[in-house]
Chain A
Amino acid sequence: MNWRRDIVPPTALIAILIIGWYFVAKVSGLSSFILPTPLDVIQAGWETRALLLNAIGTTLLATGIGLVLALITGIGIAALVDFWPLAHRALYPILVVSQTIQILAIAPILIIWFGFGVTPTILIVVLFCFFPLAISTADGLTSSDPELIALLRAMGAKKWQIWRMVRMPSALPSFFSGLRLAVTYSVVAATIGEWVGGSPGLGLYMLKSKNALATDQVFVAMFITSLLSVGLFMLVYGIERLALPWYHSTQRTEQWDDLGIY
């Protein structure tokens, strides 16, 4: 990553926005219930830090477990539809429909079934995240070059060898795109679950702050949720670059960088 080219512009813009926000909040004279200043927000975060740290831990735990389960279901579904064309035809429409159902409608039902606590939150994370993973992995698996598969067959490769040597590696870039989407959704999904289901994470912190008209604390929770999402996104991106050096090879980018193609 190029420091001056990639880091400075967004940081500068964010700084300008925060300063702008500060002045709007000051000049407009709005009460801090309506629009707290950035300083109010930082102060509110500091004052509730013990509570916040606990909340962050709870949310991250639910997010993490949810993501792992989503990975298992997502990859499982992708492998199933790949091995078994009938499952592909039968499952695909249901998968798409499953994403059109309002999570906010499902959440109360999950609470009725599983009670208040961390389970419904985890399930909501899974519901949000398995879909991009399943679709991207399934697409990735079908993207492998049929001529490559033919070549390996002509060399006498067994089906599982073709899977290991060609199909899985060629599915990885697509899988990682799905994973980046999934982790970005995951934290927000967890806070929604907590908001509705009352497990003591950032979602509940947000709900309680809202009820107490502590707008500054709502902002705190909002920013921390974003930061966690961005952090997870960057973590996955880092893992991706380590796992797929050939896909992110410097030659590939440098060659085209100067032409402005990227």
Chain B
Amino acid sequence: MTTPRIELRHVSKTFSGIEHAVPALKDISFKVMPGEFVTIIGASGSGKSTLFNLCVGLLEPDEGEILIDGERPDNRAGMVGYMPQRDLLLPWRSVLDNVLIPLEIQGIPRRESRQRALEMLSHFGLETFEKEYPSALSGGMRQRAALLRTWLMGRSTLLLDEPFGALDALTRKELQNWLLKVWQEFGRTVMFITHDVEEAVYLADRVIVLSARPGEIKRELKIDLPRPRRQRMIAEPDFGKLVRELLTELGVDV
């Protein structure tokens, strides 16, 4: 049997608030298999970002365990690619120097890491922009640069936390298609947080629905739509049915 890229077993996390403890996640268990695209959806405050912070090692679970490629390392930092909601590009570094950060952290010689980055720039639509400062880039391009930075960490699993949340609807659709394209081309595993039901269905092999605080897994929904996905599928009945099911699950549509 193949080893899951990421496996959570009965993970719980509670934050000690000012007055009383705030439970964020309760008894979360799931697996993400190699090459899978899993989206996680839930109302705000359902602990989606906490889930990622646990996976990347910024937080430790109170209970349960987190396995990465079947192992339980003491320190998970740097083991999976991670992209937070904000692009968080360093304003004092050019686009190229920004995307090189993970390689710099890993201590890879500059010439080699430059080589690797320059090869990928065109896949991310950033060629001819490598010398610009982030302030000169549009929102969509900044997001692509942040994603390239995550990509260059070289990890087989990418955790993307609402990467397109702040973009306008058109740029967003464009980037969804582009992300699916690079994902299929390079065969990485993706976990993708969103609060947009349509986006969740459109991208995923499988959608995990989290309940409101404390976040529990309410439902796992397999998305059997054919790939490659096309934006026009959104208008088709199969797609609509899945969206409706998720909306009901989230309690938005009764």
Interface residues of chain A, those whose CB is within 8 Å of chain B, are 145, 147-148, 150-158, 161, 165-166, 169-170, 172, 244, 246-247, 249, 251-252
**Among A147, A148, A153, A156, which residue has the most Cβ atoms of chain B within 10 A?**
A156
Please state if B105 and A157 are interface contacts (CB–CB under 8 Å): yes
Residues of chain B within 8 A (CB-CB) of A166 are 90
Name the one of A156, A165, A172, A247 contacting B77, with C-beta atoms under 8 angstroms. Answer: A156
Interface residues of chain B, those whose CB is within 8 Å of chain A, are 53, 56-58, 77-79, 82, 84, 86, 88, 90-93, 101-102, 104-106, 133, 135-136, 153
User: Known: A155-B153, A156-B106. Contact between A150 and B84, CB under 8 A?
Assistant: yes
Please state if B105 and A154 are interface contacts (CB–CB under 8 Å): no
Please state if B88 and A147 are interface contacts (CB–CB under 8 Å): yes
Q: Looking across the interface, which residue of chain A has its beta carbon closest to that of B153?
A: A155
Query: Measured between C-beta atoms, what is the minimum distance from B146 to chain A in Å?
Result: 9
**Among B86, B91, B93, B106, which residue has the most Cβ atoms of chain A within 10 A?**
B91
User: Known: A147-B84, A246-B135. Contact between A155 and B101, CB under 8 A?
Assistant: yes
Query: Measured between C-beta atoms, what is the minimum distance from A208 to chain B in Å?
Result: 49
Some 21 contacts from A to B, beta carbons below 8 A apart, are A152-B101, A153-B77, A154-B57, A154-B58, A154-B77, A155-B78, A155-B82, A155-B101, A155-B153, A156-B78, A161-B104, A161-B105, A169-B90, A170-B92, A172-B92, A246-B91, A246-B92, A247-B92, A249-B135, A251-B135, A252-B135
Q: Looking across the interface, which residue of chain B has its beta carbon closest to that of A252?
A: B135
Please state if A156 and B133 are interface contacts (CB–CB under 8 Å): no
Please state if A244 and B92 are interface contacts (CB–CB under 8 Å): yes
Name the one of A165, A244, A246, A252 contacting B101, with C-beta atoms under 8 angstroms. Answer: A165
Residues of chain A within 8 A (CB-CB) of B102 are 155
Q: How far is the CA of A174 from the CA of B56 in the complex (A)?
A: 32
Query: Measured between C-beta atoms, what is the minimum distance from A262 to chain B in Å?
Result: 16
**Among A145, A155, A249, A252, which residue has the most Cβ atoms of chain B within 10 A?**
A155
Q: How far is the CA of A154 from the CA of B79 in the complex (A)?
A: 8
Residues of chain A within 8 A (CB-CB) of B77 are 153-156
Please state if B58 and A153 are interface contacts (CB–CB under 8 Å): yes
Name the one of B92, B104, B106 contacting A169, with C-beta atoms under 8 angstroms. Answer: B92
Residues of chain A within 8 A (CB-CB) of B82 are 151, 154-155
Q: Looking across the interface, which residue of chain A has its beta carbon closest to that of B150?
A: A155
Q: Looking across the interface, which residue of chain A has its beta carbon closest to that of B159?
A: A154
Residues of chain A within 8 A (CB-CB) of B90 are 148, 165-166, 169
Residues of chain B within 8 A (CB-CB) of A247 are 91-92
Q: How far is the CA of A145 from the CA of B58 in the complex (A)?
A: 16
Other A-B pairs, 8, CB within 8 Å; known A147-B86, A155-B153, A170-B92: A153-B77, A154-B58, A154-B77, A155-B101, A155-B105, A172-B92, A249-B136, A252-B135
Residues of chain A within 8 A (CB-CB) of B106 are 156
Query: Measured between C-beta atoms, what is the minimum distance from A252 to chain B in Å?
Result: 6
Query: Measured between C-beta atoms, what is the minimum distance from B152 to chain A in Å?
Result: 10
Please state if B58 and A150 are interface contacts (CB–CB under 8 Å): yes
Closest A-B pairs by Cβ, 8 of them: A156-B78, A154-B56, A156-B77, A246-B92, A154-B82, A157-B105, A169-B92, A246-B133
Residues of chain B within 8 A (CB-CB) of A147 are 84, 86, 88
Please state if B58 and A152 are interface contacts (CB–CB under 8 Å): no
Please state if A249 and B133 are interface contacts (CB–CB under 8 Å): yes
Residues of chain A within 8 A (CB-CB) of B88 are 145, 147-148, 151
Residues of chain B within 8 A (CB-CB) of A152 are 101, 105
Query: Measured between C-beta atoms, what is the minimum distance from B234 to chain A in Å?
Result: 32
